Amino acid sequence: MANTAYGPVQIQLIERSGKIVKVAVLVQPTNTLHDVQIGEFAFPKLISETLAAQSSKIDAVSGATYTSAGYVKSLQSALDKRS
């Protein structure tokens, strides 16, 4: 889990044969409608980039800097913990 200025972000990776096949957002900022809208906009793009890159080396989503940073931090944490 990664904390951001707007709340925590936690993701879960699903891997098959060492390849990331799915990313689930378990926790995201939801304090305001704006937080929810940013998540709805940013997370699909971040997940798509993750599946393409197969790493945490992805670009932030414009307009969702904190959410993107939290996502990448949580993603890197998940990648670090895999066996």
Task: Decide if 32 contacts 38 (C-beta within 8 A).
Answer: no
Cα dist. 37→41, 43, 45, 74 in Å?
6, 10, 13, 20
Does the pTM of the predicted model rise above 0.85?
A: yes
Give the pLDDT band (50/70/90) at residue 69.
Answer: very high
Residues 49-66 have a mean pLDDT of 96
Task: Decide if 2 contacts 10 (C-beta within 8 A).
Answer: yes
Measure the CA–CA gap between 83 and 80, rounded to whole angstroms: 8
SS3 57: coil
Residues 23-27 have a mean pLDDT of 97
